[in-house]
């Protein structure tokens, strides 16, 4: 036996289910974002509330 155990890969059904759940979450977020009112004179770029951090001039900070 080897001391370095090979990590066990998830089966195909588990991976497929995880991908479906991720697609469903992304679709829900996209639908919510499209239904939101349009921002006027905002900072531009991607919505930081959606992606979880603020980025200004290449410097990112979590909130």
Please indicate, yes or no, if residue 43 is contained in any of the structural domains. no
For each of the chain's 63 residues, which pLDDT tens digit applies?
Answer: 556 777 787 789 999 999 999 999 999 988 888 887 777 776 666 666 666 566 666 666 665
**Domain contains 5:** no
Both tokens of 19, joined, read 């991908």
54 and 60 Cβ atoms separated by less than 8 Å: yes
Q: Are 36 and 50 in contact (CB under 8 A)?
A: no
Count of structural domains within the chain: 1
8 Å CB contact between 48 and 38: no
> How far is 49 from 37, CA to CA, in rounded Å?
14
Domain that holds residue 30: 12-35+49-62
pTM of the model: 0.47
With respect to residue 41, please indicate whether it lies within any of the assigned structural domains.
no
Residue with token string 């603020």: 54
């Amino acid at each position: 036996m080897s001391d370095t155990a090979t990590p066990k890969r998830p089966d195909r059904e588990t991976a497929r289910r995880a991908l479906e759940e991720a697609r469903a979450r992304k679709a829900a977020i996209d639908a919510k974002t499209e239904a939101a009112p349009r921002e006027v004179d905002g900072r531009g770029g991607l919505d930081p509330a959606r992606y979880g951090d603020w980025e200004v001039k290449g410097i990112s900070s979590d909130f």
